C-alpha cells in the first residue's frame, strides 16, 4: 500500500513537471536576413517614395522600423564579425576587409551559445569572413569571399566548392527552403540568410533588367558637394564622377569574356545582358556626346537603376521567405530581422560606397517583426549599435548575455519606452588607403552632435550639428561658439573609448593632449 502511494506521488510530480514544461513558452525561431550595402534610402519603410521594397515594407508594417541603428565600423566583413560577437572590431580582431587576416572563428559567437541552448543554427549565403564557419553553425553553405551574382560557387560543409546554377539571390532562397524543410523540427532555429545583394558591381537578375528605366531619380541635396572644410571628404576615392567605372560598374561595352563575371554566364544569360546593356545602355551612351556635367548625371541614373534592380530580386526573395514562414505555420513563433551590414551612399556627397562616419554609411536599415512583443507598425528612435544585435538575439532566446559582450539587449526598450538607454554611439573605422582612400577615424554621435577625429595621413577633427545640418556639410570644429560643446563631447568620447577599451584610440587622444 505504502509503495503504491509513493509511486502515485512520483507520477503526480512527474505530471506537474511535464505540465510546467509544456506551459513554458517555446523559445522563438530567429531569422536574420542580412544584406550587403543596402541603403536605408532605398527602402520604402525609410521614406523612399518609389515603392521599391514591398516585402521589406511588409516586415515593417507587421513589426518595427528602427530609425537609428548604427554600425561600429562601416565595412562588410567587420560588420559580420560584430553581428556574430557583439563586440567592436578592436576586440573581435576584424578591423578591415583583408583576405590575409581571417576572422578568428574560435572565439565566442552568438551561434555557438545558441547551440548550447538547444538551437539549431545555420548560415546560408554570403559570409565573407575568409575563414569557414566550421562548427560555429550546425549547417552552412557559403560562397567564397564576395561570391558571384551568376552561377555562383558555394563551399559546403565538406569544404568542397560546388557550382550552383542560377542567380545568387534565388540560389540562396532555394538553399534556405531546403534547409528549413530538412531541419530538426523539434528544436528552435537561428538562421542567417547572407545576401550578396546589393554589393558592387550590381548585376541584376535578367528578369529585372531595365525594371526602373522609366524613373528619373532625383539628385540628393549634397550631390554636388565641394567638401569645403572637410579634408577627408575631399581626399576620398569613391565618387560617382571619378571612381565609378563606365565599363565594369555601369556595363558600358562590358567585357563579356571577363573571368569571374561574364564567363560564368549561360548563353541565355549573356544574350539577355548583351541585348540590354549593348542594345540599350551602351547605345544610349554612344549616341550622346555627354558633357562632363551631363555624364555625371547619366552615371548617377545608371548606378541607381542597376543597384535598385539588384535590390528588386532581394526584396522579391524576402517575400518568398515570408511566404514560406506563413505556409509552414512558423510566422507566429519566428522573429524576423531585416538588416544590411552597413549603410551606403546613393549619390549623397557625390559618392557610392560606405566607410565614413557620416549618416548615410553609419546608419543601417534594421526592421524587426516579433509577434506578441512588437506592435505592428512601430517606429523605434533609440540609438542602437550593431554590437547590440548579438546580446538581443540571446535575450530573445532567453539566454543572459555574458559580461564580455560589449553590446546590450534592446528588448527592454521595446517593452518600456522609459527604459534608460545609451545617449551616445561610438564608432571606429580603419581601412586605409585602399580601396577608397578614406582616412581612418573614430568618433561619437549623440542625438544632436557628431564629433569625428580623423588620424592618418593628416590629423584633424570635425563637428556637426545634426539638428541644424542633418546632411553634414558644415564642419563647426573651429567655431568659437562650439568650444564648450566640443569639450563636453570629448569628455563623453573619452569615456566611451575607456568603456570599450579601445587602446588605439586612447593613445591617439593622449598624444594630442601632451602635444
Binding-site ranges for Ca ion (CB under 5 A): 36-37, 76, 341
Three cell numbers at 383? 540609438
Identity of the residue, 38 or 58, whose beta carbon is nearer to Ca ion in the bound complex: 38
Give me the least distance between CB of 305 and Ca ion, in Å please. 20
Identity of the residue, 341 or 431, whose beta carbon is nearer to Ca ion in the bound complex: 341
Q: How many CB atoms lie within 10 A of CB 264?
A: 17
Task: Please name the residue that has the C-alpha cell 507566429.
Answer: 332
Identity of the residue, 36 or 431, whose beta carbon is nearer to Ca ion in the bound complex: 36
Is the separation of the CB atoms in 96 and 382 below 8 Å? no
Identity of the residue, 80 or 441, whose beta carbon is nearer to Ca ion in the bound complex: 80
Give me the least distance between CB of 341 and Ca ion, in Å please. 4
Pairwise CA distance, residues 62 & 338, whole Å: 12
Give me the least distance between CB of 354 and Ca ion, in Å please. 6
**Most distant CA atoms of the chain, gap in Å:** 103
Pairwise CA distance, residues 72 & 470, whole Å: 20
Is the separation of the CB atoms in 54 and 338 below 8 Å? no
Three cell numbers at 137? 553553425
Is the separation of the CB atoms in 127 and 194 below 8 Å? yes
Question: Closest residue to Ca ion, Cβ-based?
Answer: 76
Pairwise CA distance, residues 374 & 317, whole Å: 24
Give me the least distance between CB of 353 and Ca ion, in Å please. 9
Pairwise CA distance, residues 236 & 291, whole Å: 24
Identity of the residue, 36 or 225, whose beta carbon is nearer to Ca ion in the bound complex: 36
Contacts by 288-293 with C-beta closer than 8 Å and gap 24+? none
Give me the least distance between CB of 144 and Ca ion, in Å please. 16
Identity of the residue, 195 or 388, whose beta carbon is nearer to Ca ion in the bound complex: 195
Identity of the residue, 87 or 200, whose beta carbon is nearer to Ca ion in the bound complex: 200
Give me the least distance between CB of 486 and Ca ion, in Å please. 32
Pairwise CA distance, residues 353 & 429, whole Å: 14
DSSP at 280: I
Give me the least distance between CB of 323 and Ca ion, in Å please. 27
Pairwise CA distance, residues 238 & 241, whole Å: 9
Give me the least distance between CB of 334 and Ca ion, in Å please. 25
Pairwise CA distance, residues 437 & 439, whole Å: 6
Identity of the residue, 28 or 347, whose beta carbon is nearer to Ca ion in the bound complex: 347
Amino acid at each position: 500500500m505504502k509503495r503504491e502511494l509513493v509511486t502515485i506521488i512520483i507520477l503526480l510530480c512527474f505530471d506537474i513537471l511535464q505540465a510546467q514544461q509544456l506551459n513554458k513558452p517555446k523559445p522563438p525561431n530567429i531569422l536574420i536576413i542580412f544584406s550587403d550595402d543596402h541603403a536605408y534610402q532605398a527602402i520604402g519603410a525609410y521614406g523612399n517614395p518609389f515603392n521599391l521594397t514591398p516585402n521589406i515594407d511588409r516586415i515593417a508594417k507587421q513589426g518595427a522600423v528602427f530609425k537609428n541603428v548604427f554600425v561600429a565600423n562601416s565595412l562588410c566583413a567587420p560588420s559580420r564579425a560584430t553581428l556574430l560577437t557583439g563586440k567592436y572590431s578592436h576586440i573581435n580582431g576584424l578591423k578591415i576587409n583583408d583576405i590575409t587576416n581571417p576572422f578568428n572563428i574560435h572565439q565566442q559567437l552568438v551561434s555557438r551559445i545558441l547551440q548550447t541552448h538547444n538551437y539549431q543554427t545555420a548560415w546560408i549565403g554570403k559570409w565573407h569572413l575568409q575563414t569557414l564557419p566550421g562548427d560555429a553553425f550546425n549547417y552552412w553553405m557559403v560562397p567564397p569571399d564576395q561570391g558571384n551574382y551568376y552561377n555562383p560557387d558555394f563551399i559546403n560543409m565538406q569544404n568542397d566548392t560546388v557550382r550552383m546554377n542560377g542567380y545568387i539571390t534565388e540560389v540562396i532562397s532555394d538553399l534556405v527552403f531546403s534547409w528549413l524543410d530538412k531541419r530538426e523540427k523539434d528544436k528552435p532555429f537561428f538562421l542567417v540568410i547572407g545576401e550578396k545583394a546589393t554589393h558592387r558591381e550590381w548585376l541584376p537578375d535578367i528578369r529585372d533588367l531595365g525594371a526602373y528605366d522609366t524613373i528619373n531619380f532625383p539628385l540628393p541635396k549634397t550631390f554636388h558637394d565641394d567638401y569645403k572644410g572637410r579634408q577627408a571628404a575631399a581626399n576620398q576615392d569613391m565618387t560617382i564622377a571619378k571612381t565609378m567605372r563606365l565599363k565594369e560598374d555601369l556595363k558600358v561595352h562590358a567585357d563579356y569574356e571577363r573571368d569571374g563575371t561574364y564567363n560564368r554566364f549561360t548563353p541565355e544569360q549573356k544574350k539577355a545582358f548583351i541585348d540590354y546593356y549593348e542594345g540599350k545602355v551602351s547605345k544610349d551612351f554612344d549616341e550622346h556626346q555627354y558633357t562632363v556635367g551631363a555624364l555625371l548625371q547619366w552615371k548617377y541614373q545608371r548606378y541607381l537603376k542597376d543597384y535598385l534592380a539588384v535590390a528588386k530580386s532581394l526584396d522579391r526573395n524576402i517575400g518568398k521567405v515570408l511566404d514560406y514562414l506563413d505556409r509552414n505555420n512558423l510566422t507566429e513563433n519566428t522573429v524576423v530581422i531585416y538588416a544590411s551590414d552597413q549603410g551606403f551612399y546613393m549619390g549623397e556627397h557625390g559618392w557610392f560606397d560606405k566607410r565614413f562616419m557620416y549618416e548615410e554609411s553609419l546608419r543601417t536599415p534594421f526592421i524587426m517583426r516579433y509577434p506578441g512583443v512588437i506592435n505592428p507598425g512601430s517606429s523605434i528612435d533609440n540609438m542602437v549599435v550593431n554590437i547590440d544585435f548579438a546580446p538581443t538575439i540571446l535575450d530573445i532566446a532567453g539566454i543572459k548575455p555574458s559580461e564580455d559582450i560589449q553590446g546590450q539587449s534592446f528588448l527592454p526598450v521595446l517593452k518600456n519606452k522609459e527604459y534608460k538607454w545609451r545617449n551616445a554611439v561610438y564608432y571606429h573605422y580603419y581601412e586605409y588607403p585602399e580601396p577608397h582612400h578614406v582616412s581612418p577615424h573614430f568618433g561619437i554621435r549623440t542625438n544632436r552632435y557628431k564629433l569625428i577625429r580623423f588620424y592618418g595621413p593628416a590629423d584633424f577633427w570635425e563637428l556637426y550639428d545634426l539638428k541644424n545640418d542633418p546632411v553634414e556639410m558644415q564642419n563647426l570644429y573651429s567655431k568659437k561658439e562650439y568650444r564648450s560643446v566640443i569639450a563636453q563631447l570629448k569628455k563623453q568620447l573619452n569615456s566611451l573609448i575607456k568603456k570599450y577599451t579601445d587602446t588605439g584610440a586612447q593613445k591617439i587622444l593622449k598624444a594630442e593632449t601632451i602635444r
